[in-house]
């Protein structure tokens, strides 16, 4: 049933009802049995799948996600996830369920001006992101209110980050990690927690986050004209001028932080990107650090694809919280598999995940998986990943 759920998401079957229609096809049923290596004599249905998930602890499935990344790192299959020798880890919250009716006692609530209330289930997600656009889910922390209803303030993204950070350290005790953060995390306690874990961060920095520190950084930038380099690049037919500048050794709450700013001009329109980091910024790495900070947007693209292409919020609209989180974790696994498939040499020239999902579904409908592919004596093969685009 877990294999069925992964196939459902990988093929972008839009609903559990549609899955039941696909399961009626004899070849799809045969291929599912071959794929899962569990022969079934009855007609499979989505209700059976939900019943199985209801008996699982969602934490068991969540534990698979860091295992997948560890295996990829150990086999050196994801060289593009590194920033100055550190795995780029983007953290952000996303919504998986919302309703005008209470789902359970642990729902988050959002009050509106018209007096109505929206009930929510959100999660904080850590994803390893790559320069080539890879967004691999690593760790999930649900945002839940206490079940007894006794709390002064609701659970929030920052609280979840402080809970999840030790878990991430426990899963990757020796792996150097660089957190790519948005401006919500631009605060002393978050920086201190990351540095206590001996990890790095590149955090989006806006004046509204820490006004005095921002003004000090701009003044020190003005007084350090030598800390500046200019680059001209071509992107999508446009000539782009980038000016990088940096300030070392900003004092903030007994921490030494560096400031990086990139001013990018495209067709006479200038956009400014500013970051705080505990990397030691130099002329040799300032450009890479700024590019890494901007790479945080990859996690937003991953969330958007899961919501629009994988119908995440539709599948997570179920009565049982454990089932909801199990489906969410299985979606992350399927999304990772499809990203790796798109980057492999199995299918040349097909990188769009939507098209790839249609090809996979049509193959399951029209081709038969040979039973002997699971034979231990069958010839071995290798799946190689394409080089990242330059």
18 plus 127 within the same structural domain: yes
Confidence of residue 257 (pLDDT cuts 50, 70, 90): very high
The larger pLDDT score, comparing residue 268 to residue 250, is at 250
> Are residues 207 and 152 located together in one domain of the fold?
no
User: What does the pLDDT read at residue 99?
Assistant: 85
Query: Which pLDDT does position 386 carry in this prediction?
Result: 61
Q: Which of 252, 285, 318 is the last residue of a domain?
A: 285
196-223: average pLDDT: 95
For residue 290, tell me if it sits in a domain. no
40 pLDDT higher than 80: no
Q: Coil, strand, or helix at residue 161?
A: helix
pLDDT at residue 390 in the model: 44
Are 127 and 238 found together in one domain?
Answer: no
pLDDT tens for each residue of 296-344: 999 988 888 888 877 777 776 677 888 889 999 999 999 999 999 888 8
Of residues 261 and 76, which shows the higher confidence score?
261
Identify which has the larger pLDDT, 377 or 350: 377
Residues 6+ apart with CB under 8 A from 77: 340, 385
pLDDT at 195: 96
* 35 pLDDT above the threshold of 90: no
- Residue found under tokens 């560096």: 258
**Domain assignment present for 291:** no
Q: Which of 9-18, 146-155, 256-265, 302-311 has the highest mean pLDDT?
A: 256-265
Least-confidence region, from 13-27, 177-191, 262-276, 339-353: 339-353
Mean pLDDT of the chain: 89
Angle at alpha carbon of residue 155, lines to 172 and 168, rounded to 5°: 0
Tell me which of 29 and 384 has the higher pLDDT: 29
Predicted pLDDT at 100:
87
Q: Are residues 75 and 21 in the same domain?
A: yes
Q: What is the mean pLDDT of residues 245-254?
A: 95
pLDDT score at 387: 54
| Percent of the chain surpassing pLDDT 90 | 56
Helices 2-10 and 46-54, axial angle in degrees (round to 10): 120
Least confident of 156-165, 361-370, 379-388: 379-388
Could you give the CA distance from residue 214 to residue 105 in angstroms, rounded to a whole number? 41
Q: What's the whole-number mean pLDDT along residues 33-58?
A: 83
Do both 216 and 350 map to the same domain? no
Q: How many domains does the structure of the chain reveal?
A: 2
218 and 339 housed in the same domain: no
- List, in order, residues 6 or more apart from 113 with CB less than 8 Å away: none
Instruction: Name 315's Cβ contacts closer than 8 Å, sequence gap at least 6.
Output: 9, 15, 16, 327, 331
Q: Domain boundary residue among 285, 312, 345?
A: 285
Q: What pLDDT shows up at residue 250?
A: 95
Please say which residue of 285, 312, 329 terminates a domain.
Answer: 285
Radius of gyration of the chain, Cα coordinates, nearest whole angstrom: 23
Cα–Cα distance measured from residue 216 to residue 222, given in angstroms and rounded to the nearest whole number? 10
Q: Coil, helix or strand for 28?
A: helix
Q: Which residue in this structure is represented by tokens 């040349």? A: 348
Res 352 pLDDT > 90: no
Domain identity same for 132 and 227? no
**107 and 57, same structural domain?**
yes
Residues 34 and 138 occupy one common structural domain: yes
Same domain as 337, residue 279: no
DSSP 8-state symbol, 146: -
Per-residue CA distances from 331 to 86, 168, 255 (Å): 26, 20, 39
* Distance from C-alpha of 163 to C-alpha of 141, rounded to nearest angstrom: 8
Same-domain status, 144 and 239: no
The answer to whether residue 36 scores a pLDDT higher than 90 is: no
Model confidence at 285, pLDDT cuts 50, 70, 90, reads very high
| Statement: residue 184 has pLDDT above 90 | yes
With residue 365 as reference, give the H or E element that holds it.
Answer: helix 353-366
Confidence of residue 376 (pLDDT cuts 50, 70, 90): confident
Strand pairing class (86-99; 177-181): parallel
User: What does the alpha-carbon distance between residue 192 and residue 289 come to, in Å, rounded to a whole number?
Assistant: 20
Both 75 and 161 in one domain: the answer is: yes
Residue 220 in domain: yes
Helix (H) or strand (E) holding 191: helix 188-196
Q: Is residue 94 part of a domain?
A: yes
Task: State the pLDDT confidence band at 178, using cuts at 50, 70 and 90.
Answer: very high
Report the C-alpha gap between 247 and 222 in whole angstroms: 10
Q: Which domain holds residue 239?
A: 190-285
């Amino acid at each position: 049933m877990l294999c069925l759920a992964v196939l459902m998401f990988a093929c972008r079957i839009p609903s559990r009802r549609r899955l039941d229609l696909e399961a009626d096809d004899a070849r799809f049923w045969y291929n599912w049995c071959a794929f899962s290596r569990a022969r079934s004599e009855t007609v499979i249905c989505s209700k059976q799948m939900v019943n199985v998930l209801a008996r699982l602890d969602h934490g068991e499935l969540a534990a698979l996600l860091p295992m997948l990344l560890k295996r990829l790192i150990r086999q050196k299959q994801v060289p593009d996830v590194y920033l100055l020798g550190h795995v780029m880890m983007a953290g952000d919250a996303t919504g998986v369920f919302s309703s005008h009716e209470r789902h359970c006692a642990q729902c988050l609530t959002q009050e509106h001006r018209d007096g109505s209330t929206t009930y929510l289930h959100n999660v904080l997600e850590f994803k390893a992101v790559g320069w080539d656009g890879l967004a691999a889910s690593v760790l999930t922390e649900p945002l839940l209110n206490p079940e007894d209803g006794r709390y002064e303030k609701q659970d929030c993204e920052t609280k979840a980050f402080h809970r999840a950070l030790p878990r991430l350290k426990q899963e990757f005790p020796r792996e150097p990690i660089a957190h790519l953060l948005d401006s919500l995390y631009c605060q002393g306690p978050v920086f201190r927690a990351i540095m206590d874990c001996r990890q790095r961060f590149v955090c989006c920095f806006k004046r509204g986050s820490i006004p005095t520190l921002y003004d000090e950084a701009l003044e020190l930038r003005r007084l350090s004209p030598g800390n500046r380099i200019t680059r001209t690049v071509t992107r999508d037919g446009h000539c782009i001028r980038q000016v990088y500048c940096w300030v070392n050794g900003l004092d903030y709450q007994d921490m030494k932080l560096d400031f990086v700013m990139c001013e990018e001009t495209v067709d006479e329109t200038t956009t400014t990107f500013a970051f705080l980091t505990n990397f030691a910024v130099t002329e040799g790495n300032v450009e890479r650090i700024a590019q890494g900070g901007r790479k945080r947007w990859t996690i937003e693209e991953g969330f958007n694809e899961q919501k629009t292409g994988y119908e995440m919020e539709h599948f997570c609209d179920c009565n049982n919280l454990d089932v909801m989180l199990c489906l969410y974790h299985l979606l992350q696994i399927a999304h990772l598999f499809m990203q790796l498939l798109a980057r492999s040499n199995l299918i040349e020239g097909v990188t769009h995940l939507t098209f790839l999902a249609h090809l996979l579904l049509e193959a399951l409908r029209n081709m038969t998986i040979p039973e002997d592919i699971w034979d231990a004596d069958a010839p071995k093969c290798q799946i190689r990943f394409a080089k990242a685009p330059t």
